[in-house]
Structures are given as C-alpha cells and as structure tokens.
Amino acid sequence: MDFDDTWHPATHPSGAVLPALLAVCDMLPNNSKPSGRDFLLAFNVGIEVQGRLMRFSNEAHNIPKRFHPPTVVGTLGSAAACARLLSLERSQCSHALAIAASLSGAPMANAATQSKPLHIGNAARLGLEAALLASRGLEASPRVLDDTAGVAGFSAFYEDYAPRPLTSPEEELQFLLEDQDIAFKRFPAHLGMHWVADAAASVHKLLLGEQGSEVVGQVQDILLRVPRSKYIDRPFPESEHEARHSFQFNACSALLDGEVTVDSFSQDALQRPDLHALLGRVHVEHPHDNPANFDRMYGEVQVTLVGGDVLKGRCDTFYGHWRNPLTNESLRKKFRSNAGAGSFPERRWRV
C-alpha cells in the first residue's frame, strides 16, 4: 500500500482494480478467458472511473482527513472494472456502482497501522462482489452518484460533493487518463514523505562536505517546514507503519543516510540510537504557503549546526512526482524489485 502509484487528486488507483480483475480472470472458464486487450480495457475503465469520482470534490484535492480515498473511489473503480470484464449490461453496471457505494469508505485513523492495506484490498474484493451481485440481478439506487440534497449517496464521503455528468461517448470525450498526474514513490511511505526526504538528503550532502563523516555530532537543531496534516506528523514513530507516516522519521533517516529506501523501515533501522538522537532535535513548522496538497506542497529542512551555522535544503518537486517523473529505467527497477519477491501462476488471459 505504501508503495503504490499515487494520483492527484490523491488516490492509489491500480491496487483497487488489478487484483479484482485477476480474480475475474481466474473465475472465468477456460473457453471464455478475456483477451489481453479486454483486460487492459477493463483496467482503464476501473481507473478512469476513480479519476472522475475524485474530481467531484475539491476536498479530494487535499491530503485526506476523513476517509481514505482508495476505499472510497477504489471500491467503485473495482466494481466498474469488473463489470466491464464480466460484460454486464448497462443497468447492471449502474447497480454495480451503486452497490459498491454501500461497500465503500474507511476512516483515516487506521492509516499508520497494519490495517491500512486492508482498505485497498477490500476495495478490490468488495468492488468485485458488487459487480457479481449486480450480475445476479441485485438492484441498488440508480441515483447514488447524483447530488440529491437531503439523502446522501456518494456525497456522504465529501463535504463539497459536486458531480459532473459525463459527456456522451458519441460527443468528444476526453479520457482523464490522457492527462492524469501520476506519481511513483521511490520508497514505501506516505507520498508526502518524499519532499522532506529529498530536502534532507541535500542537507546530508552539505554535512558530509563540511566535516567529513559524522552527522549526529554536528547537528544541534532540525527544523522541518511541512504542510499541516496530523496523521503524518509523528515525532517518535513506534512501528514501521508509523514510521512510513512520519515527516520527522523520513527527514532524519535521509539526514543520516543520504536517502530513504525499503530498508529504512526495518526493525534494525528503526532502533538506531543515532536516529533517535536526531528525532529528539526536530521541530516542525507549518508555513501558510505550504498546503496539504500534493500538487502545491514543498518540504524544507533547516539544520542548525553545533557551531551555529545553518544549512538548508528544500524540495519543491521530488524525483517521481508528476512534474519530475521516474525514467522508464527507474520504473523497471522498482517493478523488478517489487515483483521479484512474489511467485506467479500461469497466465490468466489469452495472448
């Protein structure tokens, strides 16, 4: 979960769709497996739908406070993708989306816990379930996406919900996917961590240049200038899950090591005395020009040295952000590293 592709407005679209579609492929009998093209079309439907829904609220442009986006739009995305791969009829597709709305949503409080990955996993499976229920004829509200004042449908999840009708496919239809901001994380943590990590990494270089090697002895005080977002502001994270949601942890790890990697969240790394010494010197500020918004936020790390000198690092656009995308080589490296750990059954679709 904490290594997923991230959109702006922010959700992780793929994880809610891909497992559900693989499950549909497994379910379908051998003589009616979908083609690779069918599979990709369904995948695109699933993530296009999520993007449309994310744009029904301005609240959705900011780092979430109430509901975890993958469980909100992801469930409907999974339902839409599965409905497509199962070739449901138009009205069944509508019911599948509406049933999915009844299976959506999870509060943010579980974000920095083991249960966070449940959210997108459930989005995938419950969306599939919604599509299967609709295929058996179960009906739900055809107006679940409408903005019906007084009775909440999908609007229950947003304070400022304002749906926009899709132009008919016969008219000129611009797919979101053709113009979608997508970030790829370089390390498995909340996306917001990437800004402070890069800012701190640049201070790390200055520190090494100045005195040679030892970081902790030089640092008197660390000031982070980051957006205000309570669930990623954790001075002393106790678990790897909390560490993945801590500005302080990621800044200090990068100050110490020059980067944040998969290994930065291991038990050994978490328990390093040097890291804890640095964490004890961190202060946090939330400048007004630094909103909790992945398109406009920045990360700034200001280190006061024991001698009184001040070193600064700032990151406006980390490597992996949509304004500074990973190269294909970096993407391939990430894919191989992630996929290498798994084992895969024989292929699920026709070539």
Work out how close the CB of 152 gets to a copy of itself at its nearest, in angstroms, rounded to a whole number: 4
Q: Which is nearer to a copy of itself, 99 or 200 (CB)?
A: 99
Minimum Å gap between C-beta 72 and a copy of itself is 10
CA distance 215 to 201: 12
Shorter beta-carbon distance to a copy of itself: residue 150 or 307: 150
Min CB(105)–a copy of itself separation in Å = 4
Least Å distance, CB 88 to a copy of itself, is: 16
Please report how close the Cβ of residue 251 comes to a copy of itself at its closest, in angstroms. Answer: 20
Q: How far is the CB of 125 from a copy of itself (least distance, A)?
A: 11
Which of 81/123 has CB closer to a copy of itself?
123
Instruction: Rank residues 41 and 138 by Cβ distance to a copy of itself and give the closer one.
Output: 138
SS3 letters across the chain: CCCCCEEECCCCCHHHCHHHHHHHHHHCCHHHCCEHHHHHHHHHHHHHHHHHHHCCECHHHCCCCCECHHHHHHHHHHHHHHHHHCCCCHHHHHHHHHHHHCCCCCEHHHCCCCCHHHHHHHHHHHHHHHHHHHHCCCCCCCCCCCCCCCCCCHHHHCCCECCCCCCCCCCCCCCHHHHCEEECCCCCCCCCHHHHHHHHHHHHHHHHHHHCCCCHHHEEEEEEECCCCHHHCCCCCCCHHHHCCCHHHHHHHHHHHCCCCHHHHCHHHHCCHHHHHHHCCEEEECCCCCCCCCCCCCEEEEEEECCCCEEEEEECCCCCCCCCCCCHHHHHHHHHHHHCCCCCCCCCCEC
**Residue 305, beta-bridge partner list:** 219
Nearer Cβ to a copy of itself (101/215)? 101
Which residue lies nearer to a copy of itself by CB, 143 or 333?
143
- By beta-carbon proximity to a copy of itself, the closer residue of 191 and 219 is 191
Nearest distance from residue 212's CB to a copy of itself, in Å? 41
Q: Which residues bind a copy of itself (CB under 8 A)?
A: 65-68, 71, 98-99, 101-115, 118-119, 122, 133, 138-141, 143-144, 148-157, 228-231
